[in-house]
């Protein structure tokens, strides 16, 4: 990962380690190019605003050197021009900051998956099935439409069935590092999710958080 903002780098590093990855973090563009061309890496998460040379230049040097390593661009500049420049420059995916860890993880997994292999990861609990590859959810066998945020929230619940998850945990996993801890966005989205998968499936644990039952 190439990221010069320590807080974000630590946030991603911690999350990736917890999911069994072995990330290396560099904080400038030249090191990013050197590592990518010299090391054994499967994928790069690349910030655009970097010291020395920026992310677009990193990408162009990688592709110029014949590297086809998957690259996911991260940037605060949430503009159409950046997106187009990034994708035309050979990026595989793009995420605007602030981002939630689960969404980054989903995109990383998607890029690492060998398209030739029909691998599917499905999480199931209490009649709810989440197909992580196809990004589909079924409730008692019936397909349900979820927004990206709702899907990410459902994924956190299904990875932790029966466990109480605090608002802070949900906030950090789904919305990321930049969200105001006083925000009620978690409660709002739990309400949306309950409406779609069944109110009784997500229990409120007073003073503690929520639990998938």
Q: How many Å apart are CA 160 and CA 147, to the nearest integer?
A: 20
Name the one range near Ca ion by CB under 5 A: 4-12, 64-72, 82-90, 118-126.
4-12
Which is nearer to Ca ion, 49 or 126 (by Cβ)? Answer: 49
For residue 86, the minimal CB distance to Ca ion (Å) is 14
Other CB atoms within 10 A of residue 117 CB: 7
Q: Is 4 in the site for Ca ion (CB under 5 A)?
A: yes
Cβ atoms within 10 Å of 80's Cβ, excluding its own: 7
Tell me the window of 46-54, 59-67, 109-117, 180-188 that interacts with Ca ion (CB under 5 A).
Answer: 46-54
DSSP lists the bridge partners of residue 212 as 202
Could you say whether residue 47 binds Ca ion (CB under 5 A)? yes
Q: Rule CB under 5 A: say whether 98 interacts with Ca ion.
A: no
Site for Ca ion contains 150 (CB under 5 A): no
Choices 3-11, 19-27, 64-72, 189-197; region in contact with Ca ion by CB under 5 A: 3-11
Contact criterion met (CB below 8 Å) for 55 and 47: yes
Please count the residues of this chain forming the interface with Ca ion, following the rule CB under 5 A: 3
* Options 44-52, 80-88, 138-146, 158-166: segment touching Ca ion (CB under 5 A): 44-52
- What DSSP string describes 31-87? HHHHHHHHS--S-EEEESS-SSS-HHHHHHHHHHTT----EEEEES---HHHHHHHH
Q: Which of 21, 23, 35, 49 binds Ca ion (CB under 5 A)?
A: 49
Residue 167 · residue 187 · CB < 8 Å: yes
Which one, 45 or 154, has the nearer CB to Ca ion?
45
82 binds Ca ion (CB under 5 A): no
Which CB, 47 or 102, lies closer to Ca ion? Answer: 47
Nearest to 95 by CA among 160, 46, 166: 46
CA distance 36 to 42: 9
- Which parts of this chain interact with Ca ion (CB under 5 A)? 4, 47, 49
């Amino acid at each position: 990962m190439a990221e010069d903002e320590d807080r974000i780098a630590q946030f991603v590093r911690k999350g990736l380690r917890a999911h069994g990855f072995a990330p290396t973090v560099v904080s400038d563009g030249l090191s990013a190019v050197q590592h990518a061309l010299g090391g054994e890496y499967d994928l790069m998460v690349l910030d655009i605003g970097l010291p020395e040379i920026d992310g677009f230049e990193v990408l162009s040097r990688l592709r110029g050197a014949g590297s086809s390593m998957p690259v996911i661009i991260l940037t605060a500049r949430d503009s159409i021009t950046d997106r187009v420049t990034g994708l035309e420059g050979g990026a595989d995916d793009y995420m605007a900051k602030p981002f939630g860890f689960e969404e980054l993880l989903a995109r990383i997994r998607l890029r690492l998956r060998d398209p030739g292999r029909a691998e599917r990861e499905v999480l199931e609990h209490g009649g709810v099935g989440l197909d992580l590859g196809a990004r589909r959810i079924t409730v008692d066998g019936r397909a349900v439409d979820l927004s990206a945020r709702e899907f990410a929230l459902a994924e956190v619940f299904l990875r932790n069935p029966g466990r109480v998850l605090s608002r802070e945990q949900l906030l950090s996993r789904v919305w990321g590092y930049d969200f105001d801890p006083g925000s009620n966005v978690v409660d709002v989205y739990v309400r949306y999710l309950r409406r779609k998968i069944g109110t009784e499936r997500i229990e409120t644990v007073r003073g503690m958080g929520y639990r998938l039952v």
